[in-house]
């Protein structure tokens, strides 16, 4: 199957404020709002024409946009399209009629009682997860590991193994600002080295890389077998990521710890490589015709992949 992949940050709005997020979520800094739905469909159509079949819908919190159900229906009318949604679980149960076997719901959960992050695996959230599982929707949990929740991680791994859920652990990403504020010691105070985790499950890979547009992009990840077809993945940003040759001259490279792994659409109608802060390589899509978007997309692929 075609693995070309793009992340769509549909909104900067979120019902929660996680301390390690930037205030615009996965969109570019200094922007607020959400994509206009009709325009977003035009842009997605260009991606489909260029061969993209994997879409990740993210935010902010994507369930806060009024058109999420319509967007899912629009994407999933193509039987070879796969859609992932990143959510903290807010209202996700309302979208059950728009989810199917082509979808995976990725819940952000940073532990059971962790007070540092508002994303906890509460009874209420667990009920939602189990409801989706009962409808045969694929589930994954994403957990950002910090000094504040590291002690809960063994329990979370065991829980996922018992409940039949995939789990991805990520370390903290350095950012210029956290929730709109520059906090100089934030990273030092909270960063936890993932290689200190003790994983009581068999390791099946130590250098799996994504294959989103070209083989071998992103950060090499470790994989563990949690049993019954479920897995644990560890994305440790201290490992050397893939960079494109244009990155070698980029003044931001030292802080660009995730390197190049996929394309991304940001609020503000910007096409870029995910997390790329070098505006020389951002494409402003406003006002472009569909054919021009396709051309820009191909140029971007050539430059970075
Ligand atoms: S900011 Fe953009 S151009 Fe610079 S190193 Fe990162 S991905 Fe490459």
Q: What is the pLDDT of residue 1?
A: 52
Closest CA to 151 of 201, 115, 185, 204: 115
Residues having CB closer than 6 A to ligand 1 are 243, 246-247, 250, 252-253, 256, 260, 273, 276-278, 281
Q: For the packed helices 37-49 and 290-304, what is the interaxial angle rounded to 10 degrees?
A: 60
Q: What is the pLDDT of residue 293?
A: 98
Pick from 256, 279, 282, 304 the residue to mutate for probing ligand 1's pocket: most ligand atoms within 8 Å of its CB: 256
Is the bond leading into 60 cis (omega within 30 degrees of zero)? yes
Distance 96 CA to ligand 1 centre (A): 37
What six digits make up the tokens of 244? 């494109």
Pick from 7, 247, 248 the residue to mutate for probing ligand 1's pocket: most ligand atoms within 8 Å of its CB: 247
Distance 59 CA to ligand 1 centre (A): 21
Closest CA to 70 of 57, 54, 60, 53: 57
Distance 249 CA to ligand 1 centre (A): 9
From the alpha carbon of 256, which atom of ligand 1 is closest? 6
Closest-CA residue, ligand 1 atom 3, reads: 247
pLDDT tens string for the chain (305 positions)? 567 999 999 999 999 999 999 999 999 999 999 999 999 999 999 999 999 999 999 999 999 999 999 999 999 999 999 999 999 999 999 999 999 999 999 999 999 998 899 999 999 999 999 999 999 999 999 999 999 999 999 999 999 999 999 999 999 988 888 988 888 899 999 999 999 999 999 999 888 887 778 888 888 899 999 999 999 999 999 998 999 999 999 999 988 988 999 999 999 999 999 999 999 999 999 999 999 999 999 999 999 99
If you search the block for the tokens 């694929």, which residue do you land on? Answer: 138
Distance CA(262)–CA(125), nearest Å, equals 29
CATH: 3.20.20.70, 3.40.30.160, 2.40.30.10, 1.10.10.10. Which one for 5-304?
A: 3.20.20.70
Closest-CA residue, ligand 1 atom 2, reads: 276
Q: Are 264 and 7 in contact (CB under 8 A)?
A: yes
Rounded to 5°, angle at Cα 250 from 259 and 185: 65
Q: What is the pTM of this model?
A: 0.95
Pick from 243, 245, 248, 255 the residue to mutate for probing ligand 1's pocket: most ligand atoms within 8 Å of its CB: 243
> DSSP character for 218?
E
Domain range summary for the chain, segments of one domain joined by +: 5-304
Closest-CA residue, ligand 1 atom 1, reads: 276
Rounded to 5°, angle at Cα 239 from 18 and 196: 70
Closest-CA residue, ligand 1 atom 8, reads: 247
Closest CA to 56 of 142, 184, 143: 142
Distance 217 CA to ligand 1 centre (A): 13
What six digits make up the tokens of 169? 């652990």
Distance 220 CA to ligand 1 centre (A): 18
Distance 29 CA to ligand 1 centre (A): 15
Closest CA to 273 of 233, 239, 236, 246: 246
What six digits make up the tokens of 235? 């994305």
Number of residues assigned to the chain: 305
């Amino acid at each position: 199957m075609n693995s070309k992949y793009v992340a769509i940050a549909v909104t900067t709005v979120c019902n929660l404020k996680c301390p390690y997020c930037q205030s615009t979520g996965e969109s570019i800094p200094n922007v607020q709002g959400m994509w206009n739905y009709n325009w977003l469909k035009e842009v997605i159509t260009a991606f489909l024409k260029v061969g993209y079949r994997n879409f990740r819908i993210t935010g902010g919190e994507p369930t806060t946009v009024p058109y999420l159900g319509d967007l899912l229906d629009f994407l999933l009318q193509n039987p070879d399209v796969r859609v992932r949604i990143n959510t903290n679980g807010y209202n996700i149960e309302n979208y059950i009629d728009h989810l199917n076997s082509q979808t995976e719901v990725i819940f952000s959960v940073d532990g059971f009682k962790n007070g540092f992050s508002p994303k906890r695996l509460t009874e209420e959230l667990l009920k939602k997860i189990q409801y989706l599982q009962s409808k045969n929707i694929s589930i994954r949990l994403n957990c950002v590991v910090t000094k504040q929740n590291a002690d809960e991680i063994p329990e979370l791994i065991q829980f996922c193994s018992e409940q039949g859920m995939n789990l991805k652990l990520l370390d903290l990403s350095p950012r210029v600002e956290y929730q709109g504020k520059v906090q100089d010691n934030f990273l030092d105070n909270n960063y936890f080295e993932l290689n200190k985790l003790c994983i009581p499950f068999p390791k099946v890979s130590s250098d799996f890389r994504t294959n989103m547009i070209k083989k071998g992009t992103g950060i090499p990840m470790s994989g563990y077998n949690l049993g019954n077809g479920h897995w644990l993945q560890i994305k440790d940003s201290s490992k050397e990521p893939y960079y494109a040759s244009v990155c070698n001259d980029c003044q931001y490279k030292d802080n660009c710890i995730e390197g190049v792994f996929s394309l991304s659409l940001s609020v503000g109608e910007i096409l870029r490589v995910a997390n790329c802060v070098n505006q020389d390589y951002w494409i402003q899509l406003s006002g472009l015709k569909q054919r021009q978007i396709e051309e820009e997309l191909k140029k971007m692929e050539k430059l970075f992949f």
